[in-house]
Amino acid sequence: MIHANEKPVELIQDILEDCSYQSQIIIDPFAGSGVLGEACVAMNRSYVLIERDKKSYDNIIKRLEGE
């Protein structure tokens, strides 16, 4: 876990499966850990993540680059 309110990727994928379609753009205005971005990549969804905390932002970049 890289954020206090991080959810499991599998949970986010289940939600995305139920309420979105492939190639849709998903927005997360409070990205936190970036888990939604990771789930979107795995499910062929585009995404926009917004995070104002520099430490969280840096961790999101690492997560999405696979570090």
Place of tokens 């961790």: 59
Q: Enumerate the domain spans of the chain.
A: 9-64
Give the pTM: 0.86
> What pLDDT, on a 0 to 100 scale, did the predictor assign at position 67?
62
C-alpha span between 63 and 35 (Å, rounded): 8
Residue type, 12: I
> What pLDDT, on a 0 to 100 scale, did the predictor assign at position 4?
75
41: which 2 tokens?
């990549």
C-alpha span between 16 and 52 (Å, rounded): 24
Q: Tell me the per-residue pLDDT of 4-63, one tens digit each, with 9 for 90 and over.
A: 788 999 999 999 999 999 989 999 999 999 999 999 999 999 999 999 999 999 999 999
DSSP structural state of residue 32: T
Question: Is the CB of residue 31 less than 8 Å from the CB of residue 2?
Answer: no
